[in-house]
A and B are shown apart, each in its own frame.
Chain A
């Protein structure tokens, strides 16, 4: 059953009862149907009960709620990761006063707090949080220092790039400030995890524009070589990575964020 119903939005078009599949350009569809960039997303109502052709994507919706659900999704992923870290054999081998264990503890607390905060905030905005996502990791991810730290690094750097790339889609000053409050903490996380992987790698050309540019000139996110700006990512770029850690049925559709 395709679930292309953006969370929290209301049906507006009665005769759209064909579900959309991922490859279709949603942007042109929305324009055709008359939706504007700031409008609540159209709901593709009336998925046929007989439609079993592809596992459902989880749509984050659009507008500010779409961005909140997008953030909620990423925090779910991070919270799940650190939860699983704590029962893995690498973490449990560390003494309770080990500096790495202390850091992993704090990261767990922070990401669970972020996750539950977003669920509450979305509910308080009278919108519907997306479902609980089901994750998947390569075998033995949680059994060695190198895989735990490498995965943590990937998630934290991705989170920073995601929040930075999503800011432009937020219309509420309050929500933008909240996103800002979280992203700097994720950047603090990312920096120390990177340092644990390799001393002094808290910044590097892979994540800031130290020795090469980001994007093409003219792109909103463009920054030239030698500017030392974070390499922010669009929602699509982010979920291309995040979806590799999400099971079928939990993969994210962020086409509503625009």
Chain B
């Protein structure tokens, strides 16, 4: 397929397509990488993801219930992923950890369902059942449930995505306005980060079928296959770049979602979604020259010290990759 031809055709009806695709034009870097490295099966998915990002729904008045249901859907995605875990491929120590995470995600589903129904009777997103999800992402990851390394790569991807999603949702106007909902969101967010940290340790330590001490793995730059427990730069695109690159890339802060009590849009509210490699926080550029106390710090520390949020639209685009054709979840 001639990718750029498609876009210039679109430009004839939408002259602003280039701005829509990515305001920072980084998407073109994405596209060239995609063309070279993706399998044929995955290209349509990635293309779809890019266009969904451009023309996907931009939620304006996300209510607290909307946000909780969005979170609930992500938890269902994770719940069934862990329910389908290939236990036999893992050591007993790794099995125990995956079982614990599976319990947590199922618990998150139950909790969010109860909370939503208690504030808006009957409005919790109904169980889509396990068949609604396709963890191979339409064939992009054929061994998702049959190979331990692929499974863990996806696990890390889901957990890191969840962390970014909850973080991006917390400052939304209707979430900040409801202290109970906000606190609940924060209290799930940190648990997902714990999961992410442990999954990364499992990948870092290697030998998933025999590993007894996953805490003792040693990371290896560029941190795609042997990551730290925290995100270093963009971890070279994550566990399965370029398919996972969007999880560590920039989001969209110029959408219609509003943040804070003044209901401001993203960048106006100071809510932005840069890539995980970002090192400027609250207007403060962070590097070895920012403070004498940082003098001999490795450059990687500055992006590692802060995670980044991700907007609802971008998260939805990523999550949709794992919904089985013919089903609707997100």
Which residues of A are interface residues toward B (Cβ below 8 A)? 97, 99-100, 102-103, 106, 109-110, 112-114, 116-117, 120-121, 124, 160, 163-165, 167-168, 171-178, 180-192, 195-196, 199-200, 202-203, 208, 210, 220-221, 223-224, 226-232
Contact = CB atoms under 8 A, between A and B. Distances in A.
Contact of B308 (A112, A160, A181, A199): A181
B198 A178 contact: no
B271 A177 contact: yes
B171 A177 contact: yes
25 contacts: A97-B218, A100-B216, A103-B229, A112-B297, A113-B294, A113-B305, A117-B284, A120-B284, A121-B284, A167-B170, A172-B260, A172-B270, A173-B264, A173-B270, A183-B186, A186-B190, A195-B201, A202-B198, A203-B100, A203-B194, A203-B195, A226-B111, A228-B107, A228-B108, A230-B190
Nearest to A166: B186
Given A113-B297, A167-B183, A199-B93, A188 B270 contact: no
B294 A188 contact: no
B286 to A, nearest CB: 6
Interface in B97-123: 97, 100-101, 103-105, 107-108, 110-111, 114
A173 B189 contact: no
Given A121-B281, A195-B214, A230-B190, 16 more contacts: A106-B301, A117-B282, A121-B282, A164-B183, A181-B306, A181-B307, A183-B186, A183-B190, A188-B197, A192-B215, A200-B100, A202-B195, A226-B110, A227-B111, A228-B103, A229-B184
A164 B190 contact: yes
- Give the size range of B's interface with the partner: 35 or more
- Binding site of B, secondary structure by majority: helix, strand, loop or mixed? helix
B261 interface: yes
Please give me the 7 A-B residue pairs with the lowest Cβ-Cβ distance, nearest first. A174-B270, A173-B260, A191-B197, A187-B193, A109-B301, A228-B107, A195-B215
Interface of chain A, main secondary structure:
helix
B135 interface: no
Contacts of B97: 200, 202
A173 B213 contact: no
A189 B215 CA distance: 12
Contacts of B114: 224
B294 to A, nearest CB: 7
Nearest to B164: A184
B38 interface: no
B180 interface: yes
B196 interface: yes
B104 A208 contact: yes
A121 B188 CA distance: 27
Interface in B197-221: 197-198, 200-201, 212-219
B179 A168 contact: yes
A227 B179 CA distance: 18
Interface of B: 93, 96-97, 100-101, 103-105, 107-108, 110-111, 114, 163, 166-167, 170-171, 176, 179-180, 182-184, 186-198, 200-201, 212-219, 228-230, 259-261, 264, 269-271, 281-284, 286, 290-291, 293-294, 297-298, 301-302, 304-309
Contact of A188 (B103, B170, B229, B308): B229
B130 to A, nearest CB: 20
B163 A184 contact: yes
B184 to A, nearest CB: 7
B111 A228 contact: yes
Contacts of A189: 197, 229-230
Contact of B304 (A106, A117, A121): A106
Contacts of A210: 103-104, 107
Nearest to B104: A228
A181 B167 contact: yes
B270 A185 contact: no
A102 B182 CA distance: 34
A187 B291 CA distance: 25
